[in-house]
Structure 1
Protein backbone atom coordinates (compact mmCIF):
# COMPACT_ATOMS: atom_id res chain seq x y z
CA UNK A 1 0.00 0.00 0.00
CA UNK A 2 1.30 3.43 -0.96
CA UNK A 3 0.23 6.55 0.94
CA UNK A 4 1.51 10.06 1.46
CA UNK A 5 3.72 10.46 4.51
CA UNK A 6 3.07 13.11 7.16
CA UNK A 7 4.78 14.59 10.17
CA UNK A 8 3.36 11.73 12.25
CA UNK A 9 5.58 9.37 10.24
CA UNK A 10 8.81 11.30 10.87
CA UNK A 11 10.52 8.92 13.29
CA UNK A 12 9.45 5.81 11.40
CA UNK A 13 10.82 7.23 8.15
CA UNK A 14 14.11 8.43 9.68
CA UNK A 15 14.63 5.05 11.35
CA UNK A 16 14.09 3.44 7.94
CA UNK A 17 16.57 5.76 6.20
CA UNK A 18 19.35 5.94 8.80
CA UNK A 19 21.05 2.52 8.22
CA UNK A 20 22.21 3.93 4.85
CA UNK A 21 22.37 7.58 5.86
CA UNK A 22 24.93 8.52 3.21
CA UNK A 23 22.85 7.20 0.32
CA UNK A 24 19.82 8.89 1.89
CA UNK A 25 21.47 12.25 2.47
CA UNK A 26 18.98 14.10 0.26
CA UNK A 27 15.92 12.47 1.83
CA UNK A 28 17.15 12.99 5.40
CA UNK A 29 18.30 16.53 4.67
CA UNK A 30 15.05 17.57 3.01
CA UNK A 31 12.97 16.08 5.84
CA UNK A 32 15.16 17.88 8.36
CA UNK A 33 15.01 21.21 6.52
CA UNK A 34 11.47 21.23 5.11
CA UNK A 35 9.36 18.55 6.78
CA UNK A 36 6.63 16.59 5.00
CA UNK A 37 4.01 18.96 3.68
CA UNK A 38 5.37 21.78 1.56
CA UNK A 39 4.14 22.89 -1.83
CA UNK A 40 7.47 21.94 -3.41
CA UNK A 41 8.08 18.77 -1.39
CA UNK A 42 6.10 15.57 -0.78
CA UNK A 43 7.01 12.09 0.44
CA UNK A 44 5.21 8.78 -0.02
CA UNK A 45 5.73 5.45 1.68
CA UNK A 46 5.10 1.91 0.44
CA UNK A 47 3.94 -0.38 3.27
CA UNK A 48 3.65 -4.17 3.35
CA UNK A 49 0.60 -6.08 4.60
CA UNK A 50 1.83 -5.85 8.20
CA UNK A 51 2.16 -2.07 8.02
CA UNK A 52 5.96 -2.09 7.79
CA UNK A 53 7.57 0.65 5.71
CA UNK A 54 9.46 -0.91 2.81
CA UNK A 55 10.16 2.04 0.47
CA UNK A 56 10.09 5.85 0.33
CA UNK A 57 9.67 8.24 -2.60
CA UNK A 58 10.73 11.89 -2.30
CA UNK A 59 9.49 14.64 -4.62
CA UNK A 60 11.47 17.90 -4.40
CA UNK A 61 10.04 20.24 -7.02
CA UNK A 62 10.30 17.99 -10.12
CA UNK A 63 13.11 15.82 -8.75
CA UNK A 64 12.15 12.32 -7.61
CA UNK A 65 14.26 9.95 -5.48
CA UNK A 66 13.07 6.45 -4.51
CA UNK A 67 14.72 4.35 -1.80
CA UNK A 68 14.30 0.81 -0.52
CA UNK A 69 16.33 -2.10 0.82
CA UNK A 70 13.86 -4.80 -0.22
CA UNK A 71 11.18 -5.65 -2.79
CA UNK A 72 8.68 -2.81 -3.18
CA UNK A 73 5.93 -1.50 -5.44
CA UNK A 74 8.05 0.23 -8.07
CA UNK A 75 5.14 0.27 -10.52
CA UNK A 76 2.99 2.10 -7.94
CA UNK A 77 5.71 4.72 -7.43
CA UNK A 78 6.06 5.13 -11.20
CA UNK A 79 2.32 5.66 -11.68
CA UNK A 80 2.23 8.15 -8.81
CA UNK A 81 5.10 10.08 -10.43
CA UNK A 82 3.27 10.12 -13.76
CA UNK A 83 0.11 11.44 -12.10
CA UNK A 84 2.03 14.39 -10.64
CA UNK A 85 3.02 15.45 -14.16
CA UNK A 86 6.06 17.48 -13.09
CA UNK A 87 8.92 14.99 -13.52
CA UNK A 88 12.26 16.61 -14.39
CA UNK A 89 14.91 14.34 -12.88
CA UNK A 90 14.73 10.81 -11.53
CA UNK A 91 17.68 9.64 -9.44
CA UNK A 92 18.76 7.17 -6.80
CA UNK A 93 20.90 4.12 -6.04
CA UNK A 94 21.63 2.46 -9.38
CA UNK A 95 20.04 -0.87 -8.48
CA UNK A 96 16.79 0.87 -7.52
CA UNK A 97 16.68 3.06 -10.64
CA UNK A 98 17.29 -0.09 -12.71
CA UNK A 99 13.87 -1.38 -11.61
CA UNK A 100 12.14 1.70 -13.03
CA UNK A 101 14.00 1.43 -16.31
CA UNK A 102 12.79 -2.16 -16.73
CA UNK A 103 9.18 -1.01 -16.19
CA UNK A 104 9.50 1.51 -19.05
CA UNK A 105 6.62 3.60 -17.68
CA UNK A 106 8.34 6.93 -17.01
CA UNK A 107 9.09 9.40 -19.84
CA UNK A 108 12.82 9.50 -19.10
CA UNK A 109 15.83 9.89 -21.40
CA UNK A 110 17.32 6.50 -20.56
CA UNK A 111 19.80 6.67 -23.45
CA UNK A 112 21.60 9.51 -21.67
CA UNK A 113 21.34 8.14 -18.15
CA UNK A 114 24.36 9.06 -15.96
CA UNK A 115 25.85 6.53 -13.56
CA UNK A 116 28.06 8.23 -11.00
CA UNK A 117 30.45 6.85 -8.40
CA UNK A 118 29.14 7.53 -4.89
CA UNK A 119 31.89 7.99 -2.28
CA UNK A 120 31.92 8.55 1.48
CA UNK A 121 34.37 10.02 4.00
CA UNK A 122 34.01 9.26 7.71
CA UNK A 123 37.51 9.90 9.08
CA UNK A 124 40.11 12.66 8.85
CA UNK A 125 43.41 10.75 8.86
CA UNK A 126 44.29 11.47 5.22
CA UNK A 127 43.23 15.13 5.22
CA UNK A 128 45.92 17.80 5.27
CA UNK A 129 45.71 21.43 6.38
CA UNK A 130 49.10 22.96 5.50
CA UNK A 131 49.06 25.65 2.82
CA UNK A 132 50.95 24.97 -0.39
CA UNK A 133 53.19 28.03 0.09
CA UNK A 134 52.97 31.67 1.07
CA UNK A 135 51.35 32.58 -2.25
CA UNK A 136 48.02 30.87 -1.54
CA UNK A 137 45.75 31.29 1.49
CA UNK A 138 42.79 29.11 2.53
CA UNK A 139 39.86 30.35 4.61
CA UNK A 140 36.18 29.79 5.24
CA UNK A 141 33.92 31.53 2.76
CA UNK A 142 31.21 34.05 3.66
CA UNK A 143 28.18 35.43 1.88
CA UNK A 144 30.35 38.36 0.76
CA UNK A 145 32.31 35.88 -1.37
CA UNK A 146 29.29 34.93 -3.50
CA UNK A 147 30.16 37.24 -6.45
CA UNK A 148 33.71 35.88 -6.56
CA UNK A 149 32.45 32.30 -6.26
CA UNK A 150 30.06 32.92 -9.14
CA UNK A 151 32.86 34.38 -11.25
CA UNK A 152 35.06 31.34 -10.54
CA UNK A 153 32.28 28.93 -11.50
CA UNK A 154 31.90 30.76 -14.80
CA UNK A 155 35.56 29.96 -15.52
CA UNK A 156 34.98 26.21 -15.21
CA UNK A 157 34.19 24.54 -18.51
CA UNK A 158 32.77 21.39 -16.85
CA UNK A 159 30.10 23.38 -15.04
CA UNK A 160 26.93 24.79 -16.58
CA UNK A 161 26.41 28.09 -14.76
CA UNK A 162 23.33 30.21 -15.47
CA UNK A 163 21.44 33.12 -13.97
CA UNK A 164 20.40 30.99 -10.99
CA UNK A 165 23.97 30.28 -9.86
CA UNK A 166 24.51 33.38 -7.74
CA UNK A 167 21.05 33.34 -6.05
CA UNK A 168 21.49 29.65 -5.23
CA UNK A 169 24.90 30.27 -3.66
CA UNK A 170 23.52 33.16 -1.65
CA UNK A 171 20.57 31.11 -0.45
CA UNK A 172 22.93 28.37 0.81
CA UNK A 173 24.65 30.87 3.10
CA UNK A 174 21.37 32.41 4.26
CA UNK A 175 19.68 29.09 5.11
CA UNK A 176 22.71 27.25 6.48
CA UNK A 177 22.16 24.48 3.92
CA UNK A 178 25.91 24.40 3.27
CA UNK A 179 29.31 25.97 3.87
CA UNK A 180 32.34 26.83 1.72
CA UNK A 181 36.12 26.97 1.94
CA UNK A 182 38.07 29.04 -0.58
CA UNK A 183 41.69 29.42 -1.66
CA UNK A 184 42.89 32.87 -2.69
CA UNK A 185 46.00 34.35 -4.28
CA UNK A 186 46.64 38.05 -3.73
CA UNK A 187 42.95 38.45 -2.90
CA UNK A 188 41.71 36.61 -6.00
CA UNK A 189 39.66 33.45 -5.48
CA UNK A 190 41.30 30.59 -7.36
CA UNK A 191 39.77 27.45 -5.83
CA UNK A 192 36.83 26.40 -3.65
CA UNK A 193 34.84 23.47 -2.28
CA UNK A 194 31.44 23.58 -0.62
CA UNK A 195 28.72 21.43 0.92
CA UNK A 196 25.00 21.20 0.37
CA UNK A 197 22.07 19.24 1.83
CA UNK A 198 23.62 19.40 5.30
CA UNK A 199 21.71 17.66 8.05
CA UNK A 200 22.61 16.42 11.56
CA UNK A 201 24.20 13.27 10.13
CA UNK A 202 25.84 14.07 6.80
CA UNK A 203 26.67 16.59 4.08
CA UNK A 204 27.25 16.44 0.33
CA UNK A 205 30.41 17.89 -1.23
CA UNK A 206 29.67 19.93 -4.36
CA UNK A 207 31.18 22.76 -6.35
CA UNK A 208 34.82 21.64 -6.18
CA UNK A 209 36.45 24.08 -8.58
CA UNK A 210 39.90 25.46 -9.41
CA UNK A 211 40.65 28.22 -11.90
CA UNK A 212 42.25 26.69 -15.04
CA UNK A 213 45.40 28.80 -14.54
CA UNK A 214 45.97 27.41 -11.03
CA UNK A 215 45.38 23.68 -11.44
CA UNK A 216 47.67 20.74 -10.58
CA UNK A 217 48.91 22.41 -7.39
CA UNK A 218 46.71 20.62 -4.86
CA UNK A 219 44.48 23.63 -4.26
CA UNK A 220 41.18 21.73 -4.52
CA UNK A 221 42.51 19.10 -2.11
CA UNK A 222 43.53 21.85 0.29
CA UNK A 223 40.08 23.49 0.24
CA UNK A 224 38.36 20.13 0.61
CA UNK A 225 40.61 19.07 3.49
CA UNK A 226 39.73 22.17 5.51
CA UNK A 227 36.05 21.79 4.67
CA UNK A 228 35.90 18.06 5.44
CA UNK A 229 37.80 18.35 8.71
CA UNK A 230 35.33 20.93 10.01
CA UNK A 231 32.28 18.86 9.04
CA UNK A 232 33.74 15.61 10.42
CA UNK A 233 34.48 17.36 13.73
CA UNK A 234 30.70 17.84 14.07
CA UNK A 235 30.14 14.08 13.88
CA UNK A 236 28.89 14.08 10.29
CA UNK A 237 29.89 11.96 7.29
CA UNK A 238 30.67 13.50 3.90
CA UNK A 239 29.53 12.20 0.52
CA UNK A 240 30.13 13.10 -3.10
CA UNK A 241 29.49 11.98 -6.67
CA UNK A 242 32.07 11.73 -9.41
CA UNK A 243 32.44 10.30 -12.89
CA UNK A 244 35.81 11.87 -13.74
CA UNK A 245 38.73 9.46 -13.07
CA UNK A 246 41.09 12.36 -12.28
CA UNK A 247 38.65 13.69 -9.68
CA UNK A 248 38.32 10.21 -8.24
CA UNK A 249 42.08 10.08 -7.71
CA UNK A 250 41.96 13.36 -5.74
CA UNK A 251 39.06 12.18 -3.57
CA UNK A 252 40.65 8.82 -2.77
CA UNK A 253 43.91 10.55 -1.84
CA UNK A 254 42.19 12.44 0.97
CA UNK A 255 40.30 9.41 2.24
CA UNK A 256 37.01 9.04 0.33
CA UNK A 257 35.97 5.46 -0.43
CA UNK A 258 33.44 4.33 -3.01
CA UNK A 259 30.31 2.75 -1.55
CA UNK A 260 28.16 2.32 -4.66
CA UNK A 261 26.75 3.87 -7.82
CA UNK A 262 24.14 6.61 -8.19
CA UNK A 263 22.00 7.06 -11.31
CA UNK A 264 20.49 10.28 -12.67
CA UNK A 265 18.04 10.41 -15.58
CA UNK A 266 16.47 13.54 -17.06
CA UNK A 267 12.92 13.64 -18.32
CA UNK A 268 12.55 13.41 -22.09
CA UNK A 269 12.31 16.85 -23.60
CA UNK A 270 8.77 17.81 -24.48
CA UNK A 271 7.31 15.15 -22.20
Structure 2
Protein backbone atom coordinates (compact mmCIF):
# COMPACT_ATOMS: atom_id res chain seq x y z
CA UNK A 1 0.00 0.00 0.00
CA UNK A 2 1.24 3.46 -0.94
CA UNK A 3 0.15 6.55 0.96
CA UNK A 4 1.40 10.04 1.62
CA UNK A 5 3.32 10.33 4.87
CA UNK A 6 2.36 12.82 7.57
CA UNK A 7 3.76 14.13 10.83
CA UNK A 8 2.06 11.22 12.59
CA UNK A 9 4.47 8.88 10.77
CA UNK A 10 7.56 10.88 11.71
CA UNK A 11 9.18 8.53 14.22
CA UNK A 12 8.66 5.49 12.03
CA UNK A 13 10.06 7.38 9.04
CA UNK A 14 13.10 8.63 10.96
CA UNK A 15 13.90 5.16 12.27
CA UNK A 16 13.63 3.82 8.73
CA UNK A 17 15.81 6.50 7.12
CA UNK A 18 18.53 6.23 9.74
CA UNK A 19 19.37 2.67 8.71
CA UNK A 20 21.32 4.03 5.70
CA UNK A 21 21.66 7.70 6.68
CA UNK A 22 24.13 8.72 3.98
CA UNK A 23 21.82 7.54 1.20
CA UNK A 24 18.76 8.96 2.96
CA UNK A 25 20.38 12.39 3.30
CA UNK A 26 18.18 14.21 0.76
CA UNK A 27 14.89 12.93 2.16
CA UNK A 28 15.95 13.46 5.78
CA UNK A 29 17.10 17.00 4.96
CA UNK A 30 13.84 17.86 3.21
CA UNK A 31 11.77 16.52 6.11
CA UNK A 32 13.82 18.55 8.60
CA UNK A 33 13.50 21.70 6.47
CA UNK A 34 9.98 21.46 5.05
CA UNK A 35 8.11 18.93 7.19
CA UNK A 36 5.27 16.90 5.74
CA UNK A 37 3.07 19.74 4.50
CA UNK A 38 4.92 21.72 1.85
CA UNK A 39 4.33 23.02 -1.66
CA UNK A 40 7.82 21.96 -2.79
CA UNK A 41 8.28 18.64 -0.99
CA UNK A 42 6.05 15.59 -0.60
CA UNK A 43 6.97 12.13 0.69
CA UNK A 44 5.16 8.81 0.35
CA UNK A 45 5.62 5.44 2.03
CA UNK A 46 5.05 1.90 0.84
CA UNK A 47 3.71 -0.32 3.63
CA UNK A 48 3.20 -4.04 4.16
CA UNK A 49 -0.19 -5.43 5.15
CA UNK A 50 1.02 -5.21 8.78
CA UNK A 51 1.84 -1.49 8.34
CA UNK A 52 5.58 -2.03 8.29
CA UNK A 53 7.31 0.73 6.31
CA UNK A 54 9.16 -0.97 3.44
CA UNK A 55 10.19 1.79 1.01
CA UNK A 56 9.81 5.54 0.61
CA UNK A 57 9.98 8.08 -2.21
CA UNK A 58 9.79 11.85 -2.16
CA UNK A 59 9.32 14.66 -4.66
CA UNK A 60 11.32 17.88 -4.26
CA UNK A 61 10.39 20.42 -6.94
CA UNK A 62 10.72 18.28 -10.12
CA UNK A 63 13.00 15.61 -8.65
CA UNK A 64 11.86 12.19 -7.46
CA UNK A 65 14.09 10.64 -4.77
CA UNK A 66 13.76 6.90 -4.07
CA UNK A 67 15.05 5.14 -0.96
CA UNK A 68 14.94 1.71 0.62
CA UNK A 69 16.99 -0.23 3.15
CA UNK A 70 16.97 -3.27 0.87
CA UNK A 71 18.18 -3.71 -2.71
CA UNK A 72 14.68 -4.42 -4.02
CA UNK A 73 12.30 -1.63 -5.03
CA UNK A 74 8.73 -1.96 -6.35
CA UNK A 75 9.43 0.32 -9.31
CA UNK A 76 6.43 -0.82 -11.36
CA UNK A 77 4.04 -0.13 -8.48
CA UNK A 78 5.53 3.32 -7.87
CA UNK A 79 5.42 4.23 -11.57
CA UNK A 80 1.76 3.18 -11.77
CA UNK A 81 0.94 5.22 -8.66
CA UNK A 82 2.66 8.34 -9.99
CA UNK A 83 0.88 7.97 -13.32
CA UNK A 84 -2.53 7.41 -11.72
CA UNK A 85 -2.04 10.45 -9.48
CA UNK A 86 -0.71 12.60 -12.37
CA UNK A 87 2.42 13.40 -10.37
CA UNK A 88 4.95 15.01 -12.70
CA UNK A 89 8.73 14.93 -12.32
CA UNK A 90 11.66 15.06 -14.70
CA UNK A 91 14.58 13.74 -12.64
CA UNK A 92 15.05 10.50 -10.69
CA UNK A 93 17.67 10.21 -7.94
CA UNK A 94 18.56 7.21 -5.84
CA UNK A 95 21.03 4.55 -4.88
CA UNK A 96 22.07 2.93 -8.16
CA UNK A 97 20.68 -0.52 -7.45
CA UNK A 98 17.27 1.05 -6.73
CA UNK A 99 17.14 3.64 -9.51
CA UNK A 100 18.10 1.08 -12.15
CA UNK A 101 14.89 -0.83 -11.43
CA UNK A 102 12.92 2.07 -12.92
CA UNK A 103 14.65 1.79 -16.30
CA UNK A 104 12.35 -1.04 -17.41
CA UNK A 105 9.32 1.21 -16.89
CA UNK A 106 10.52 4.72 -17.80
CA UNK A 107 12.62 6.30 -20.53
CA UNK A 108 15.41 8.72 -19.66
CA UNK A 109 17.46 10.90 -22.00
CA UNK A 110 20.40 11.37 -19.63
CA UNK A 111 21.66 8.94 -17.00
CA UNK A 112 24.50 9.92 -14.67
CA UNK A 113 26.13 7.09 -12.75
CA UNK A 114 27.94 8.72 -9.86
CA UNK A 115 30.35 7.68 -7.18
CA UNK A 116 29.01 8.70 -3.78
CA UNK A 117 31.59 9.68 -1.16
CA UNK A 118 31.78 10.93 2.39
CA UNK A 119 34.39 12.90 4.30
CA UNK A 120 35.06 12.41 8.00
CA UNK A 121 37.28 14.72 10.07
CA UNK A 122 40.02 12.15 10.54
CA UNK A 123 40.48 11.86 6.75
CA UNK A 124 40.36 15.59 5.92
CA UNK A 125 43.43 16.93 4.10
CA UNK A 126 42.55 20.49 3.03
CA UNK A 127 43.94 21.80 -0.25
CA UNK A 128 43.58 25.53 0.36
CA UNK A 129 45.50 28.25 -1.42
CA UNK A 130 45.58 30.99 1.21
CA UNK A 131 46.03 33.63 -1.50
CA UNK A 132 42.56 32.90 -2.83
CA UNK A 133 39.54 34.55 -1.22
CA UNK A 134 36.54 32.25 -0.88
CA UNK A 135 33.35 34.01 0.25
CA UNK A 136 29.71 33.15 0.83
CA UNK A 137 27.24 34.09 -1.88
CA UNK A 138 24.37 36.46 -1.32
CA UNK A 139 21.11 36.71 -3.23
CA UNK A 140 22.57 39.25 -5.66
CA UNK A 141 24.72 36.41 -7.04
CA UNK A 142 21.74 34.19 -7.96
CA UNK A 143 21.67 34.96 -11.68
CA UNK A 144 25.43 34.60 -12.07
CA UNK A 145 25.40 31.28 -10.19
CA UNK A 146 22.67 29.88 -12.44
CA UNK A 147 24.54 31.13 -15.51
CA UNK A 148 27.71 29.32 -14.46
CA UNK A 149 25.92 26.09 -13.47
CA UNK A 150 24.05 25.88 -16.78
CA UNK A 151 27.26 26.52 -18.73
CA UNK A 152 28.98 23.44 -17.33
CA UNK A 153 29.04 20.59 -19.84
CA UNK A 154 28.96 17.91 -17.14
CA UNK A 155 25.73 19.43 -15.79
CA UNK A 156 23.93 19.51 -19.15
CA UNK A 157 20.40 18.22 -18.76
CA UNK A 158 20.25 18.90 -15.03
CA UNK A 159 17.46 21.15 -13.82
CA UNK A 160 18.71 23.90 -11.52
CA UNK A 161 15.75 25.60 -9.83
CA UNK A 162 16.21 29.30 -9.13
CA UNK A 163 14.18 29.09 -5.93
CA UNK A 164 16.29 26.19 -4.70
CA UNK A 165 19.49 28.15 -5.39
CA UNK A 166 18.07 31.09 -3.45
CA UNK A 167 17.30 28.77 -0.55
CA UNK A 168 20.86 27.44 -0.52
CA UNK A 169 22.18 31.01 -0.54
CA UNK A 170 19.83 32.13 2.24
CA UNK A 171 20.98 29.16 4.32
CA UNK A 172 24.57 30.35 3.93
CA UNK A 173 25.55 27.29 1.95
CA UNK A 174 26.96 28.66 -1.33
CA UNK A 175 30.69 29.41 -1.48
CA UNK A 176 32.28 31.41 -4.29
CA UNK A 177 35.68 32.29 -5.62
CA UNK A 178 35.48 35.44 -7.74
CA UNK A 179 37.94 36.83 -10.25
CA UNK A 180 37.64 39.72 -12.72
CA UNK A 181 34.23 40.56 -11.24
CA UNK A 182 32.78 37.18 -12.15
CA UNK A 183 32.32 33.83 -10.45
CA UNK A 184 35.32 31.66 -11.25
CA UNK A 185 34.45 28.65 -9.08
CA UNK A 186 31.73 27.58 -6.65
CA UNK A 187 30.42 24.82 -4.43
CA UNK A 188 27.22 24.62 -2.42
CA UNK A 189 25.54 22.67 0.33
CA UNK A 190 22.44 21.32 -1.39
CA UNK A 191 21.13 19.38 1.61
CA UNK A 192 21.98 19.03 5.28
CA UNK A 193 20.72 17.18 8.31
CA UNK A 194 21.73 17.18 11.94
CA UNK A 195 24.58 14.83 11.02
CA UNK A 196 25.36 15.22 7.31
CA UNK A 197 25.95 17.90 4.68
CA UNK A 198 25.79 17.22 0.95
CA UNK A 199 28.17 19.25 -1.19
CA UNK A 200 27.04 19.75 -4.77
CA UNK A 201 27.20 22.04 -7.77
CA UNK A 202 31.00 22.04 -7.69
CA UNK A 203 32.25 23.75 -10.84
CA UNK A 204 34.84 26.10 -12.29
CA UNK A 205 34.36 28.33 -15.33
CA UNK A 206 36.51 27.23 -18.28
CA UNK A 207 38.93 30.21 -18.25
CA UNK A 208 39.85 29.47 -14.62
CA UNK A 209 40.43 25.73 -14.66
CA UNK A 210 43.69 24.00 -13.75
CA UNK A 211 44.44 26.66 -11.12
CA UNK A 212 43.40 24.76 -8.01
CA UNK A 213 40.27 26.87 -7.54
CA UNK A 214 37.89 23.93 -7.08
CA UNK A 215 40.26 22.33 -4.57
CA UNK A 216 40.26 25.51 -2.50
CA UNK A 217 36.49 26.04 -2.67
CA UNK A 218 35.61 22.42 -1.85
CA UNK A 219 38.18 22.32 0.96
CA UNK A 220 36.78 25.55 2.41
CA UNK A 221 33.12 24.53 2.35
CA UNK A 222 33.98 21.05 3.64
CA UNK A 223 36.00 22.50 6.50
CA UNK A 224 33.08 24.73 7.46
CA UNK A 225 30.69 21.81 7.88
CA UNK A 226 33.24 19.51 9.48
CA UNK A 227 33.83 22.20 12.11
CA UNK A 228 30.08 22.11 12.80
CA UNK A 229 30.37 18.40 13.59
CA UNK A 230 28.88 17.18 10.31
CA UNK A 231 30.08 14.51 7.91
CA UNK A 232 30.30 15.82 4.33
CA UNK A 233 28.99 13.88 1.34
CA UNK A 234 29.26 14.43 -2.39
CA UNK A 235 28.89 12.59 -5.68
CA UNK A 236 30.80 12.74 -8.94
CA UNK A 237 31.19 11.04 -12.32
CA UNK A 238 34.10 13.13 -13.58
CA UNK A 239 37.40 11.34 -12.83
CA UNK A 240 39.33 14.61 -12.65
CA UNK A 241 36.92 15.93 -10.03
CA UNK A 242 37.08 12.61 -8.20
CA UNK A 243 40.86 12.85 -7.98
CA UNK A 244 40.51 16.23 -6.24
CA UNK A 245 37.92 14.94 -3.79
CA UNK A 246 39.97 11.88 -2.89
CA UNK A 247 43.04 14.04 -2.24
CA UNK A 248 40.93 16.13 0.15
CA UNK A 249 39.93 12.95 1.97
CA UNK A 250 36.55 11.95 0.52
CA UNK A 251 36.12 8.18 0.45
CA UNK A 252 33.64 6.20 -1.70
CA UNK A 253 30.69 4.59 0.07
CA UNK A 254 28.57 3.50 -2.91
CA UNK A 255 26.95 4.62 -6.14
CA UNK A 256 24.08 6.98 -6.96
CA UNK A 257 22.16 7.56 -10.16
CA UNK A 258 20.71 10.81 -11.41
CA UNK A 259 18.45 10.16 -14.42
CA UNK A 260 16.67 12.86 -16.40
CA UNK A 261 13.71 12.30 -18.71
Q: TM-score scaled to structure 1, two decimals? A: 0.82
Which of 241, 248, 256 is the aligned partner of 1:254? 248
SS at match of 1:66: strand
Find the aligned partners of 2:159 and 2:117 in 1 and give their Cα distance.
Answer: 30
Structure 1 unaligned regions, length at least 5 = none
Q: Deviations over 1:51-95 (max 9, x none)?
A: 321111112244222211235544322221222321322221111
**What is the aligned counterpart of 2:210 among 192, 197, 216?**
216
- After superposition, the Cα gap between the structure-2 partners of 1:185 and 1:249, relative to the gap in structure 1 and judged at 3 Å, is same
CA–CA distance in 2 between the matches of 1:168 and 1:98?
26
**What is the CA deviation profile of residues 72-119 of structure 1, one whole-angstrom value per residue up to 9, with x for unaligned ones?**
544322221222321322221111123333xx3x3322x743211111
CA distance in 1, matches of 2:102, 2:106: 11
Question: Which residue does the alignment assign to 2:96?
Answer: 94
> How far is the alpha carbon of 1:123 from its aligned partner?
1.9
Pick the aligned partner of 2:121 from 120, 123, 130. 123
Task: Give the unaligned 5+ runs of structure 2.
Answer: none
Residues 1-271 of structure 1 mapped to structure 2, 5 A cutoff:
1-70=1-70, 71=72, 73-85=74-86, 86-101=88-103, 104=104, 106-109=105-108, 112-123=110-121, 125-128=123-126, 130-133=128-131, 136-146=132-142, 148-150=144-146, 152-153=148-149, 156-160=152-156, 168-174=164-170, 176=171, 179-185=173-179, 188-267=182-261
- Give me the CA root mean square deviation: 2.8
TM-score, normalising length from structure 2?
0.85
Q: Which has the larger radius of gyration?
A: 1
User: Conserved in 2, the CA contact under 8 Å of 1:131 and 1:138?
Assistant: no
Q: Distance in 1 between matches of 2:42 and 2:240?
A: 37
In the alignment of these two chains, the number of paired residues is 259
